[in-house]
Amino acid sequence: MGVKLYFAKYFAILAKYGRLGDAVWLEARWSIFGGPERKLLKTNRSSMREPVGGADYAALVAAQSRALAKLSQEIAEAIQGAGKN
């Protein structure tokens, strides 16, 4: 039995904003393709908002990191779901 490969071929950060003491916003568009024929399995647009837990740049960067982690988790879950089909 062969192994099917799934991968995010297309990934674009459309917007990334942040304000000290407020929040960061991340918008991305991504697609998952699978198999040797690279068939399009899913396309999605994601929007993430993460509160900034302080008024300094360390808090802003930490919030950006959490937003990227949420985006990564969303894509990983979509890839896992594609593998079940």
Whether residue 1 has pLDDT greater than 50: no
- pTM recorded for the entire structure: 0.83
pLDDT in tens, 11-42: 788 888 999 999 999 999 999 888 778 888 88
Please report, for the chain, the start and end positions of each structural domain, with discontinuous segments joined by +.
Answer: 6-83
Q: pLDDT tens-digit profile of 63-81?
A: 999 999 999 999 989 888 8
pLDDT in tens, 37-52: 888 888 999 999 999 9
Greater model confidence, 9 or 23: 23
- Spatial neighbors of 42 by CB under 8 A, at least 6 apart, are 31, 32, 78, 82
Homologous superfamily, domain 6-83: ABC-type transport auxiliary lipoprotein component (3.40.50.10610)
